Structure 1
């Protein structure tokens, strides 16, 4: 289990997260919900060690990670697909994927066969530059790059944002498949409530840098949605 306890997280002098505590069950999808600007992305970045500083505790299967650098968290099995994808446009598809493989165990730094199975377009266009791909194809590439690290936990920051509708459902189904068939633990930041409810086992609701509600997805009531998601 991944656990965070009493986390405060900062960019420079600005505190974004306030005393955040959550347990992320192994092998399940936990959806992180909330309006824009409430700290959802910072929650993922804090787990990955990408904010300027934090206090509190992060543990994975009882082992402390909160003081470890990002590369050690990646090698411990955590992979991150950022909002906006952040692929390298001048690198080929293969080169982008292999960037993620640096966090994989020695001897396993390769394009995983799973990538070709999940993403036929990427398999057939390994030498195409990342910058020439559509938004949906770049999202597939960002997920493939994360999978090259052979993770046990996948952090996904709004993976369907800004993607053409014909690819959105495909990416949603791949995310569910990664969890249900491969057993990946997934933390999913997602504005699409319908998808979050369909995919998620659990939810964490955030407001102003704090967790204000959490539980099984069946506990996500219309009242909680109205109070913390409605505009």
Structure 2
């Protein structure tokens, strides 16, 4: 579904990603792991055309996107849940969710049934400002906003960061359901190796902006984790 070849990415003169190669099949969860500062967030931003400059190749369903702007990538079927969530605090829950629907190509501007199924609290409080929600509820809102675009590929950047422990397991269950039941392909940046091993089909380990190890999830050994993730 997604093929990334020789991907280079820059912030100004800073060369962050160096020759990234990834293959993600339809229906997979690929987890991108590594220490802080290794380029994981930059990889997701590059896939969404949110860095200053990039080169290489990004094919989604056979369509080349490396020169496409962010809105065209969203309309091609990529949705992004950024680190920190970035919901608009003064917008209501409804307004935040419907922002995602503007990426749809069929003109539909409605809240999908899947959002109502996964996030009943949000549906029960559609007129509440997003800024009044807890961190976990804002993460749910950010995911709901992404789902309103009806994406083929969902990019999640550390969705459990800064969330109360009681909500972490719920977010993890939702990610697995989106993949297994809704059939959404996922690229997940995540530090929780136990969850990575439980949920993922494949992994890619980043170090200094390059992929240093990748493969099926059962090849993610403790030795690899210790070598590339232990501080």
The TM-score with structure 1 as length reference comes to: 0.99
Q: What are the superposed Cα offsets for residues 52-104 of structure 1, whole Å, 9 maximum, x if unpaired?
A: 00010110111100000000000000000000000000000000001100001
1:108, distance to aligned residue in structure 2 (A): 2.2
The size of the alignment, in residue pairs, is 231
Q: What are the superposed Cα offsets for residues 130-150 of structure 1, whole Å, 9 maximum, x if unpaired?
A: 000000000000000000001
Helix, strand or coil at the partner of 1:26 = coil
Aligned positions of 1:3-152 closer than 5 A: 3-152=3-152
Residue 159 of structure 1 corresponds to 159
Residue 181 of structure 1 corresponds to 181
1:106, distance to aligned residue in structure 2 (A): 2.5
Mind listing any 5+ residue stretches in structure 1 that lack a counterpart? none
Q: Distance in 1 between matches of 2:197 and 2:222?
A: 12
Q: Distance in 2 between matches of 1:25 and 1:106?
A: 25
Helix, strand or coil at the partner of 1:46 = helix
Q: Distance in 2 between matches of 1:12 and 1:110?
A: 38
Q: Distance in 1 between matches of 2:5 and 2:192?
A: 27
Q: Distance in 1 between matches of 2:184 and 2:78?
A: 10
RMSD: 0.7
Residue 198 of structure 2 corresponds to 198
Q: Distance in 2 between matches of 1:178 and 1:24?
A: 16
Following TM superposition, where does structure 1 have runs of at least 4 consecutive aligned residues deviating by more than 4 angstroms? none
Q: What are the superposed Cα offsets for residues 119-169 of structure 1, whole Å, 9 maximum, x if unpaired?
A: 011010000000000000000000000000010100000000100111110
Greater shift after overlay, 54-63 or 34-43? 54-63
Mind listing any 5+ residue stretches in structure 2 that lack a counterpart? none
The TM-score with structure 2 as length reference comes to: 0.99
Greater shift after overlay, 13-22 or 100-109? 100-109
